[in-house]
Amino acid sequence: MSSKRRTGKSRPRSAPPPVGRAPRSSTAEAAESERLALEFPHEREELLVQAAREWAAAGEHVRALELYDDLLAGEPAERSLIEAFRISALWDAGRVVEAREAATSLRAQHLRDGGAWNVVAEMFETAGELAEAAEWFTVAITRLMGPATPLTVEAVEQLPYEYDIETLVIGRHRVRRRLGSPHDALDGLADQLHEHRNRWQDEVTPLDRLHDPALEEQLLREQIEALKARNQQLSDEVASRRAGLARPQLMCALYWPQTEFAQLLARWPSLVDVYGDDHLAHRSQVERTLSGLSDQGGVHLAVAPGTVSGLEEFAREEGVAPDASEVRAQYAADLGQLGRAVAWPPPRNGACWCGSGRKYKKCCGNPVLT
């Protein structure tokens, strides 16, 4: 829950979702954490805090607050941090007056948990209460470091909670930059800590640049645009799949254009046993395969031009090896469903399915060539 860690009997962690699959919802994660808290009582506190934060992320503020209140009714090991999380949950639930009162009460305690200070300060920052956030950061640093501690990296490293102080000092710098406050000694310490943390990099971007409000707005706009683009891509894929369901089910033969064919064999040399090493022979094999299916009464035949990057992405989504034969067949079917396959046979005077630009009858449709 914080920089402090506890040891205890290990418990099985739920496996991460397959690459390319949607992660479980916050409500599912919350319910799972509550279940594990019953199974592993020695980790009950950490698991219930995790559950409460997931419930809050899902907008289930009542349940989140119930869990925090239940923990605080006992003797939690990290009471201050849990109280801070509860204050943040109250604010998110719209109970701002209660949150402020609880924050005032927490601050009146002899609070030594840097994580708790940071949670409340960031709550005010997120809510746009920048002056209050800056004050929380400043008071936290003063109390944790003490008035006699030099404002140097070396001095901070000697403190028992150096990571918490570094987080608070840099957070304070960020808020004051947004407020347009003049640079002071603690901001100078933030610069030192930032440079020290990134000392292995060839070039370190100054904090003043990273915390520039204009840059933050630009990054936010870029993130929003990227999210819109991703949503549009997903919408297009859904539309393609729906259109594919409305079309007759295609029986697709997977074809590798010449450039992709070379990349495929370079990437997985073992596939030479499947496709050979001659691209013209590969084209002929695709034509013969489709001709054979047609002779057997197959209908709705098509050629699915594949790409190495497309196969790799498809395999990642399926969580399997790209060079497995069944995956290549599934990939071809998926291309057909997405409308990325070419109906076979094309008209004799139409363009050949292989992409050569020649007429089908003078290319792959020429019996002499196949």
37 and 91 share one domain: yes
The pLDDT of residue 368: 72
Sorting pLDDT into bands at 50, 70 and 90, what band is 24? low
Number of domains present in the structure of the chain: 3
62 and 180 share one domain: yes
The pLDDT of residue 87: 97
The pLDDT of residue 22: 40
Contact 63, 55 (CB under 8 A): yes
370 domain residue, yes or no = no
35 domain residue, yes or no = yes
Single residue among 225, 246, 267 that ends a domain in this structure:
246
Lowest mean pLDDT among 43-52, 120-129, 151-160, 293-302: 293-302
220 and 261 share one domain: no
The span from the CA of 135 to the CA of 281, in Å, is 74
238 and 256 share one domain: no
234 and 286 share one domain: no
Which contiguous run of DSSP H or E holds residue 301? strand 301-305
**Average pLDDT value for the chain:** 86
Sorting pLDDT into bands at 50, 70 and 90, what band is 108? very high
311 and 242 share one domain: no
Average confidence (pLDDT) over 120-146: 94
Non-local CB neighbours of 249 within 8 Å, separated by 6+ positions: 300
Contact 260, 253 (CB under 8 A): no
Coil, helix or strand for 251? strand
16 domain residue, yes or no = no
36 and 111 share one domain: yes
Domain hosting 303: range is: 249-362
Q: What percent of the chain has pLDDT over 90?
A: 58
pLDDT over threshold 70, residue 9:
no
Can you give the CATH number for the domain in which 76 is found?
1.25.40
Of the candidates 23, 100, 13, the residue with the CA atom closest to the CA atom of residue 54: 23
Lowest mean pLDDT among 138-142, 331-335, 357-361, 364-368: 364-368
Q: What are phi and psi of 187, to 5 degrees?
A: -65, -35
pTM score, two decimals?
0.56
Sorting pLDDT into bands at 50, 70 and 90, what band is 369? low
Give tens-digit pLDDT for 323-349: 888 889 889 988 988 888 999 999 989
